Chains A and B, each alone.
Chain A
């Protein structure tokens, strides 16, 4: 009797593993759909920017019935994010394993070494952001021309920013201006830390994205002096000129946020996810609760476009490494 029970359980378990082991498959109606759970990896801890976008995406996708399968979000910051990237690139259930990916993650991935975009399938880019240079309202300098003037007089300028995308855009800026020896880059752990350093006059310039600086600009504590973009930003950042207005070539390193999948993801799955995320990006929820709140521009890009942008950013990051 006991033997029978054990046998039954064993058979049941075997059957269950067989069913759940398949990530996605083509159903009888020829339409792709997901079996089991979707593993969504985030390479930083909960509460950060990547975590918030992932939770928003999965929330909207489930609430509006865009994806039926339940999402499980894993925050795995180990090894500077490299562990979760490796996990996703070699995932067994390739069709239902996703990774939240930004240009900051890409810079870190190249710095760490060992993985490149060739180990993934780029899926979509959902939002984009660019950088500005800010100065303290009560600081030594009030415009970018004054700073360049000071550089010509042999002054050293300290610039604060984070370790990832802001460092890349800083290097591009130095190359364009030829100020590698006059500009010193001071790395901070987050945008709020580098702005705090600017508020205390510990650096001359802080490079930041608009969302982190918005409140301080509105309060009049810091002033945007340079837009690292081809066009000016909207208010309250519209007072900052672009480099081409000052007689140089424009420099920009757009910070995008998107999603990538495992290397072995099938073409059907790529199409399915591209379509699902497109639907997410078209919801009002997304526009209102994510883009507007974080001062971002909606910028949906499908797999081909996203892949082109990501590879271009990878080339820029590799050139500096």
Chain B
């Protein structure tokens, strides 16, 4: 009960007129910036951070929290509407979200994404309030060997994306892994594959690569369609507001995945160094297993369940990441690392002493997360009627505007033309990939996950002096190992069984 009274006190701080106004301003700005393709939550928070310097610390932090949270909502918009994921977790959102848009339901897709984000975030926050410090300490048990196994399980989600031809999928995944090894090796300090260029010392940045591979390729498609004079069927479909409202059945189908994915996402968010990307991949993979065959359309072709799982997990993880940040001072993702920098500028040192030394601040921040969750939901639901008109913008206006935003997003990742060059190369490769019918998503997923996998795998072997038993002797790794084996072997077993049966 003490927790509740502390939370109530937090609400009384957060609900002052000035603080609500700050949260509202942060929410609107966060949504706009988060919705721009290529800017996403990490760059969005970094861009808007200086704005908060003009307020007193509590107001500033509340604004920061709502910017962070609204960014998470906004990240899905461009993925759903124009198939350009703003950040890594939104890759999964784009799969089903954009498929729904293509079928003429952009409003519904936005509605589900907002609804699931809200549910996932709410679950994450409730868990944060009651189990935050306990879960954060449990997360510490995740050392190199546990993280290695977790990443292996997350990587199995690549197999869903591979499609009909496994060979092309494997080629794309391997290319993604190769790209991730460029630059300085963090374990030994060795320079790898920089081809004599100092630009490549720091490796390839993910955001410009995604903008190139997905965003630019999407643009090329638009140009092609425009030149062929072909009309996009979904562009001319008449959009009425009442079509965007969900039916009872649709709401029901979105709720269950939102809850399971929200719980999973929150848990992954609590692990130091895992983050929202792994959360949405894992939840999507799990949803594929859970709803096996029970969805109206398969996952990846516009299934409500897939969209709900990805969005809910990503927002659950966003809330969960506050656990290790506030209780241990350890940022769980790049975005929370920016937040940590912001908090430290205010002289607040998140860590084990925070809840003792600055309880009003810590609880005020948590309370403001609840408020920004509700505000973000309200603002983004209100925006749907206008947002869904974006798909009807004339192609001649659409192409140059997306192109410009892509350039800005790629440039702002490191304030240099290097990002733009990566984006252009990525776009060129993405186009070639399309021509050779190589899938791009496995490449991007392999790129994101394999660097974390590699670092943790090597740390695990270093700590155990190269003994592979380090993956067997610990309870958590054993659990993941079993899940991994089930994920990998069951489809193989089923295929063999089917072959045997057919031959009889």
Contact = CB atoms under 8 A, between A and B. Distances in A.
Interface of A: 45-48, 51-52, 74-83, 86, 111-114, 156, 158, 163, 167, 184, 186-187, 189, 192-193, 195-197, 199-203, 214-216, 218-219, 221, 289, 293
Contacts of B324: 196
B415 A293 contact: no
B416 A189 contact: no
Q: Which one of A77, A86, A195 has the greatest number of beta carbons of chain B within 10 Å?
A: A77
A59 to B, nearest CB: 10
Contact of B329 (A80, A186, A203, A215): A215
Given A82-B198, A186-B462, A215-B349, 13 more contacts: A46-B338, A79-B201, A81-B202, A83-B416, A158-B462, A158-B463, A186-B459, A187-B459, A192-B331, A192-B340, A199-B328, A215-B353, A289-B347
Contacts of B385: none
A197 B328 CA distance: 12
A293 B347 contact: yes
Nearest to A85: B198
A86 B201 CA distance: 13
Given A46-B341, A221-B352, A293-B347, A77 B202 contact: yes
A46 B46 contact: yes
B137 to A, nearest CB: 8
16 contacts: A45-B414, A47-B46, A47-B341, A75-B415, A78-B199, A79-B199, A80-B201, A111-B189, A112-B184, A184-B462, A187-B187, A192-B329, A193-B273, A200-B142, A215-B329, A293-B347
Nearest to B340: A47
A217 to B, nearest CB: 10
A200 B147 CA distance: 13
Interface of B: 46, 49, 140-144, 183-184, 186-189, 191, 198-202, 272-273, 324, 328-331, 337-338, 340-342, 344-345, 347, 349, 351-354, 414-416, 418, 459, 462-463, 465
Contacts of B418: 78-79, 83
Nearest to A164: B189
B341 A83 contact: no
Nearest to A48: B341
B78 to A, nearest CB: 23
Top 3 nearest A-B pairs by Cβ distance? Answer: A47-B341, A202-B143, A215-B351
Nearest to B183: A80
B463 A79 contact: no
A201 B418 CA distance: 39
A80 B186 contact: no
Given A158-B462, A214-B349, A197 B143 contact: yes
B423 to A, nearest CB: 14
Contact of B202 (A78, A114, A189, A203): A78
A163 B328 CA distance: 22
A219 B353 contact: yes
A45 B353 CA distance: 27
B328 A196 contact: yes
Nearest to B338: A47
Contacts of A86: 198
A113 to B, nearest CB: 8
Contact of B200 (A79, A111, A167, A195): A79
A51 B337 CA distance: 13
A178 B331 CA distance: 36
B200 to A, nearest CB: 7
A46 B49 contact: yes
Contacts of B341: 46-48, 51-52
Contacts of A46: 46, 49, 338, 341
B184 A196 contact: no
A193 B330 contact: yes
B462 A196 contact: no
A76 B416 contact: yes
Contact of B330 (A52, A83, A196): A196
Contact of B272 (A48, A184, A193): A193
A77 B465 CA distance: 34
B351 A216 contact: yes
